[in-house]
Amino acid sequence: MEGASEAISVPRPFRLTEAVGLPLTVVVLDQLTKWWVQAELALNEPVRILGDNVRLLYIHNEGAAFGISVGEYSPTLFLVLASAASILVLYLLIQTPPAQRLQRLALGLILGGAVGNIIDRVRLGQVVDFIQVGVSGHYWPIFNVADSAVTVGAVVLGIAYLRDR
């Protein structure tokens, strides 16, 4: 058997658990933190964590990122857009080879974050946001765990694609 000791490279089939594990973890963490915020914090009442630089401030966001709104149809429009984007990200995740781990990590974070906010939009008609950071009274828009996952995932995806070029 000539060459029997040589390893044969056979592409590993896609496994659903690889596409679901990280996104599901993000969704669970996101929903648990939002449940805690709704149970423990008063709406629009800031709670200092690190002075005024990091606060918890429970709000409802009917718009998109940074509170962007397009009027009375914002909740429906952003639900449809987020759902379509999630389907696209899931497709990309399934199509990304296992060897491209950084891209898969990034897509998993983006998918989990998008689904976390979709759950809020379906359940509440709006998104629960609660993390506020800033300096000297200048604050970044209030966000949540899902938003963080989408943002980190987008940055990692950009880095991965730039690195591969």
Catalytic residue list: 129, 147
Edge-to-edge order in the sheet of strand 127-135? 47-50, 54-61, 127-135, 138-139
Please tell me whether residue 58 adopts helix, strand or coil conformation: strand
Helices (H), 41-144: 74-95, 101-124
Q: Please state, in angstroms and rounded to a whole number, the distance separating the CA atoms of residues 124 and 59.
A: 12
Q: Please state, in angstroms and rounded to a whole number, the distance separating the CA atoms of residues 84 and 152.
A: 20
Q: Sign of the CA dihedral 122, 125, 130, 134?
A: positive
Please tell me whether residue 138 adopts helix, strand or coil conformation: strand
Structure tokens at 45: 């009442």
Please tell me whether residue 75 adopts helix, strand or coil conformation: helix
